[in-house]
A and B are shown apart, each in its own frame.
Chain A
Amino acid sequence: MNCFILSKNNLNDFLAALDSYELFVPIRKNGITVLAHIDDPLAIKLDLTSQPYLVKQTIFPQTESLFTFDRKKGIKAPSFETNHKSQVVFGIRSCDARGFCIIDPVFEEDYPDPYYIHKRKSTILIGLQCIEPFTNCFCTSVGGSPSSTEGLDLQFTDIGESYFVEVITQKGEEIIKVTAPFLSCPDKNQSVKKDEVKKDAEQKVKRKIDVNQLSQKIEQIFEDSVWSDLAEKCISCGICTFFCPTCYCFDIQDEIIRGKGKRLRTWDSCMYSEYTAHASGYNPRPTRMERLRNRIYHKFKQNIDRYGVSGCVGCGRCITLCPSNEDIVENIETLQRL
């Protein structure tokens, strides 16, 4: 693996050198960290202290036009062959990068989804090593780690005055080529320092869940009354699913104004009662109990059965942001105790 050193003073120049790409960087807005699509990295104040929210937006946008139509001119679908700019997403954490790997097969198998696949292929993910995991992080329990490079093309680690840059993939090499003037070779101390930072971060992940035999367990207790108790405080909003790196459900709707329209897909949430409502009026998941059970089932059983990997990356955002303090770590503990 190729490794480089980027002085922190050169970070903005490094980003500015990526002007042939659409660039997304973390910024602070309204008290949270989000990714912003920017033109001039030199004019922007980066926020590299906090994990950015809604990273999946960059590859799986919340609102995406599938094709447009016009009563007179017919249907116009996008072309994926055109010379669209590739995009670079900078400063994401390992959990979000792993999230993409977990949802890839959903969009790639059976019926390949050209919209997702095209964006995924033309996106370069640059990670920033997680140094201070949050209170609710539990990535190490579900096959992840704050130092995981799965899904990333480059990984940055803050080692004090500079970043230690690891090249993970061929796409990462591409970035190195255009930013070479700002990079140097690491010495032994820097390499040791990087390993220390990584090890330290892994030990800082405090919360744990026990996934041993979990999928069998939740299958056995499908009809148990525990689900009603767990769901009692849930208010059925979409926060846990919208902010989850691996929730990919969407709705498809037409939006038409005066004979012209778009067929759009927008994020949907299995926590809404409308999500499973049938046209007949019947709803197979009428209450919060069925919906919460479905969410835990999907992450910890169906995803494992179908793709061989847990559908949860342990980022803890569903816990941190939940309005009524629904806590998936505590929920799993309760289920495992049964």
Chain B
Amino acid sequence: MDNEKLIAEAKTVLLRGDIVGIIGYQKDSQGFRVSPLFVRDERDIEKLFFSPLCWLSLVNYLTLEKGRLLQKGNPGKKAKVALMVRGCDSKALNQIIIERGLSRDEVYVFGIPCNGVIDLKKIEKMFPDVQGSAQVSENNGFYHVRCNGKSHEVPKEELIADSCKHCVSPNPILYDVLLYTPIVVKQPDYRDIEEIDNMSIAEKWEFWREQFSMCVRCYACRNACPLCYCDDCILERLSPQWIYRSVNMSENLIFHLARSFHHAGRCAGCGECERVCPVNLPLMLLNRKLEKDSKELFHYTVGEKAEQKPLLATFNPQDPDDFIF
């Protein structure tokens, strides 16, 4: 992907005078790693880039510490923060906006149609000893990887992040400027969820018991999630203490159920929770199960359009209730 348009747009935007900064991606000097970049003046603009290595979501940085960047240069609430936003990120951002966590006029959105990003763990495993910076571009179902002075063609399927394999919203649903050509949208595929649905209760229990027993409750899944922006999280409540600090099967299970239930009808499908998990829990299986249920039971799809109401703020007398009693 060429970055010229991105850099040109970023320069124009920064000159507008109402933008306090740009949150974007920058390539690290080592290996395949990409970091968030906080651009406050023109000097850093050239560092902005986008490639299939941009695996992390930047939406989180709007709400961390109630948006440090927003608050800092934004006393009169007239200024905006500009942000690079992929399809999934735009759904997360939109969700925050419809929940009134942010206002649309506080952000300027560089929309990025995204063809899926690379799982860093997979590519670091395939190319373990990279000296200096590596580059990756995508062409016709292959990733073109340049590292250690050599070029490699790798089938996309081998490196793409699992959460991107199920992506049905590659194109941003809200933006101020669209940087690349929109991408053809795929049909939803819930075969992996159906596989778990079809397990017996004992099998499901065994599967999740095994997974949750690995959890160390570092809360990276919560902190990385763009939609976990509550000032007051139940995990930190001491009175009543909804979830004990003990790391055991009982508390881990409740933690993960609480975390995923709080995303019912909200999860944007960006896969941040799964990406950051140090013990590789398949957390998107839980999120996508809820996504599938919202669709089938309540005909609700997150981010279907920019101005929809949140699922839990809607009621229809025809909503199914036979699972209640």
Measuring CB to CB, which residues of chain A are less than 8 angstroms from any residue of chain B?
Answer: 29-32, 34, 53-54, 62-63, 135, 232-233, 235-239, 242-243, 251, 253, 255, 264, 266-267, 269, 272, 274, 287-288, 321, 323-325, 327
Contacts and interface: CB of A to CB of B under 8 A. Distances in A.
Nearest to B72: A228
Contacts of A288: 64-65
A239 B275 CA distance: 13
Q: Max chain A CB contacts within 10 Å: which of B61, B211, B220?
A: B220
Interface residues of B, number: 43
Q: Max chain B CB contacts within 10 Å: which of A54, A232, A287?
A: A232
Nearest to B233: A274
A287 B224 CA distance: 16
A239 B220 contact: yes
Contacts of A239: 218, 220, 276, 278
A236 B34 CA distance: 18
B223 interface: yes
A235 B64 contact: yes
Contacts of B64: 235-236, 288
Closest 9 A/B residue pairs (Cβ):
A323-B276, A237-B220, A238-B218, A237-B223, A266-B245, A325-B35, A30-B280, A235-B223, A233-B36
Given A232-B36, A242-B216, A288-B64, 12 more contacts: A29-B214, A31-B121, A232-B38, A233-B38, A233-B61, A237-B223, A238-B220, A239-B276, A255-B246, A266-B246, A324-B224, A325-B35
B220 A235 contact: yes
Interface stretch (B25-33, B92-100, B152-160, B301-309): B25-33
A53 B219 CA distance: 17
Nearest to A269: B218
B236 interface: yes
B65 A324 contact: no
B31 A253 contact: no
A104 B35 CA distance: 36
Contacts of A233: 35-36, 38, 61
B44 to A, nearest CB: 11
B218 A237 contact: yes
Given A30-B281, A237-B218, A253 B36 contact: no
A287 B65 contact: yes
B31 A135 contact: yes
A47 to B, nearest CB: 14
24 contacts: A32-B278, A32-B279, A34-B214, A135-B124, A236-B64, A237-B218, A239-B278, A242-B278, A253-B245, A255-B245, A255-B246, A264-B246, A266-B247, A267-B216, A274-B236, A287-B68, A288-B64, A321-B278, A323-B56, A323-B223, A323-B224, A323-B275, A324-B56, A325-B56
A239 B280 CA distance: 13
B298 interface: no
A321 B279 CA distance: 10
B34 A325 contact: yes
Contacts of B33: 325
A62 B247 contact: yes
B216 A54 contact: yes
A325 B28 contact: yes
Contact of A30 (B223, B246, B279): B279
Contacts of B60: 235
Contacts of A238: 217-220
Interface in B113-128: 121, 124, 128
A313 B320 CA distance: 57
